[in-house]
Homo-oligomer: A and B are copies of this chain.
Amino acid sequence: MNVSSGFHARQLAVVGLGLMGGSMALALRGYADHIVGVELNEPARRYALEQGIVDEATDDLRAGVKDADVVVLAAPVRVILSIVRGRIGTYLRSNTFLIDIGSTKEDICMAMGVLPIGIQAVGGHPMTGKEVSGIDASDALLYRKRPFVLCPTRRTTPAARLRALAFVEALGAEVIEMDAHRHDRTVAAISHLPYLLSAALVATVKSEGDKDDAVWQLAAGGFRDTSRLAASDLSMMGDILSTNTQAVAALLARFRAQLALLEAALIDEDGEEITDLLRPVRQARIDWSSKYERKR
C-alpha cells in the first residue's frame, strides 16, 4: 500500500473491465488489498486475471460488489445507469464508497442520489482515453495528470467527498469539482458538439465523395483532424448523446448562430467583417493551446 495518499481499499470492485476499468485497476494496485473485476465478457475476465490486473473476476454483480468497500462503475453510461437504478443498492454494504466514470453525469448523479442512505456515492468523469479500447490496452498511467471531474450527489457526505478526493489523488489525476448540470453543459460544448460536427462533416463529404472519388483522394490533414471524432464508437456516443440531449441541443443552436454569422459575412463578400469575426476565434484557440492543451 502506498502511504502518500489517504486512499485505501480493503476490497476494490471494478465493474466493467475495458480500457478504463482495466487502467483503473492497474493504477490502484498499490492502494487496494484485493481487487475484484466484474465483467460479462469471459475473454476480458480471463485476460484481466492472467495479467494480474485483478485478483478475482466474476460475471455476477452481487458476488463482485457485496464485500467491497470501494466500487468503481467503469461501464458505458446506459449500463452504469441501469446498475445504479437496479439492485446494486441492496447489494452494497453500508459505508461503501461508490464512484462511476460515465461521460455524462446528471442522470447518473440523480440515480445515485436515491441509493440507500449510508452508501457514499460520488459521480466521476476522467477526461482521458485512447484511440484504442479494450482491457488489453490498459495503462496504469492513463489517468495521470489528466482532469478528473467529481460531481456531488445527494449521497455525497463530507466523508464521501474526502474519499473521492483521495481516490483521484491515488490515480495521479487532477481533480475538478462541479455540479452535474454544469459538467454536462461543459462536455456538450467541448466534446459532444465537436462529435456531431465531425459526423455531419463526414456525411457531407461522403455525399460529395460518392459522386467523385477525388474528394476522398485529396482530403488531407485538415479533414483528418476535423473528422477524426466521426470514427468514435457508436454505442458509446449514442449513450452519451441520449443522456445529454438538452445541453447538446442548446449548444447546437449556439453553434448554428455562430456559423450563420460567418456565412453571412462570406456571402456579403465583406472581407473585413469575416476577419473581424475570425480574429478573436483564432486567438482563443491559440490561447487555449498555450494554456491548457495537453501535448501527447
Contacts and interface: CB of A to CB of B under 8 A. Distances in A.
Interface of A: 127-129, 146-147, 149, 176, 178, 182, 185-187, 189-191, 193-209, 212, 214-232, 234-235, 237-238, 241-242, 245, 248-249, 251-252, 254-256, 258-259, 261-263, 266-267, 269, 271, 274-275, 277-282, 284-286, 288-289, 291-294
A200 B284 CA distance: 12
A230 B282 contact: yes
Given A226-B225, A229-B222, A242 B262 contact: no
14 contacts: A185-B208, A186-B214, A187-B218, A194-B222, A199-B262, A199-B277, A199-B281, A216-B292, A224-B289, A225-B225, A234-B282, A238-B271, A252-B263, A256-B259
A194 to B, nearest CB: 4
Q: Which of A203, A256, A267, A275 has the most CB of B within 10 A?
A: A203
Contacts of A182: 212, 214
Given A206-B284, A222-B194, A223-B194, A278 B186 contact: no
B219 A190 contact: yes
A185 B209 CA distance: 11
A225 B229 contact: yes
Nearest to A267: B249
A202 B284 contact: yes
A interface, by DSSP: helix, strand, loop or mixed? helix
Nearest to A185: B208
Given A190-B223, A218-B186, A229-B222, A251 B204 contact: yes
A221 B197 CA distance: 15
Given A203-B258, A245-B269, A279-B234, A186 B215 contact: yes
Contacts of A269: 242, 245
Contact of A259 (B196, B278, B286): B196
A186 B198 contact: no
Given A190-B218, A217-B292, A220-B127, A285 B176 contact: no
A231 to B, nearest CB: 5
A82 to B, nearest CB: 14
B193 A212 contact: no
A132 to B, nearest CB: 13
A204 B189 contact: yes
B255 A222 contact: no
A99 B193 CA distance: 41
Contacts of A282: 199, 202, 230-232, 234
A282 to B, nearest CB: 6
